[in-house]
Amino acid sequence: EIVLTQSPGTLSLSPGERATLSCRASQSVSSSFLAWYQQRPGQAPRLLIYGASTRATGIPDRFSGSGSGTDFTLTISGLEPEDFAVYYCQQYDTSPPSLTFGPGTIVDIK
Amino acid sequence: QLRLQESAPGLVKPSETLSLTCTVSGGSVRSSHFYWGWIRQTPGKGLEWIGNVYYTSSVYYNPSLKSRVTVAMDTSKNQISLTLSSVTAADTAVYYCARQGAQPDARGFLDVWGRGTTVIVSS
């Protein structure tokens, strides 16, 4: 089973600053099968990025994803007030089909 | 617009069976393009994938829950269901249903989620 680790656990930043979130896998993950989600308090997770770098429908271009192998990054180029939330990475295994999530990174207001 | 709505009993007694349904509106569960599944969230374990079902009735489960879980599809009602047997306090969580892509160029991620429903296991 592939285990995902996210760092930092908490990122304290001010609006307008750049956020860089890391997701590391215990084994190599196909870039096609790495996704990022945002979760605001009291809401369901929302898909931001799939295929490691493709923005989902309606996601602003300040969100970008990159990486390959075992190291992936989510970057928010200039934090807006609504971006302070928890972010999760997720990977998909094809054999057998299964999904696993990272523990999340909290982005809060400094 | 696709919408997923979970329904749940809210409170389940230990050792009993938890049963949830997810009603899909604005789209059909009988689509070759998608899996339909369940994810839960607890403060302790975070987000945990439970399992999913395809329109062919193929099902896939998290190995850690497989012995207690059944995910099924009712195409006549456009619903998916989850049953989890022998529940304990550790099964207390917010349960979400979600859509997962099944096509080769769009699979492995959950693009539409329900709002979630809280299930508490307590006597």
How far apart CA A107 and CA B15 sit, in angstroms, is: 38
The confidence score (pLDDT) of residue A31 equals: 84
**Cβ–Cβ contact B73 with A under 8 A:** no
pLDDT band at B54 (very low <50, low <70, confident <90, very high): very high
The confidence score (pLDDT) of residue A37 equals: 98
Give the side-chain half-sphere CA count within 13 A for A105. Answer: 25
pLDDT tens-digit map of B75-86: 999 999 999 999
- B67 vs A1, B61, B86, B94, B100, CA distance in Å? 18, 9, 10, 20, 23
CB interface of B with A, residues 74-103, below 8 Å = 96, 98, 100
- Answer whether A45 sits within 8 Å of B110, measured CB to CB: yes
| φ, ψ (nearest 5 deg) of residue B89 | -60, -30
pLDDT band at B33 (very low <50, low <70, confident <90, very high): very high
Query: 3-state DSSP: chain A helix, strand, coil percent, rounded to 5?
Result: 5, 60, 35
**Least CB-CB distance to A98: which of B47, B62, B115?**
B62
**Least CB-CB distance to B46: which of A1, A51, A101?**
A101
CB burial readout B89-117, b (16+ within 10 A) else e: eebbbbbbbbbbbbeeebbbbbbbbbebb
Q: For residue A56, list chain B residues with Cβ-Cβ distance below 8 A.
A: 111
pLDDT tens-digit map of B100-121: 988 887 788 999 999 999 999 9
Q: For residue B107, list chain A residues with Cβ-Cβ distance below 8 A.
A: 33, 92
The confidence score (pLDDT) of residue B107 equals: 81
User: To 10 degrees, the CA torsion angle through A32, A77, A60, A73?
Assistant: 20
Nearest chain B CA: its distance from A10 CA (Å): 15
The confidence score (pLDDT) of residue A49 equals: 97
pLDDT band at B122 (very low <50, low <70, confident <90, very high): very high
pLDDT band at B62 (very low <50, low <70, confident <90, very high): very high
The confidence score (pLDDT) of residue B44 equals: 80
Question: Consecutive 10-residue runs of chain A (110 residues): their mean pLDDT?
Answer: 95 97 95 94 96 96 97 97 97 90 96
Q: Under a CB-based contact definition with an 8 Å cutoff, are residues A75 and A19 in contact? A: yes
Asked if the model's pLDDT at residue B10 lies above 90, the reply is no
Find the angle CA(B53)-CA(B57)-CA(B62) to the nearest 5 degrees: 35
The confidence score (pLDDT) of residue B112 equals: 97
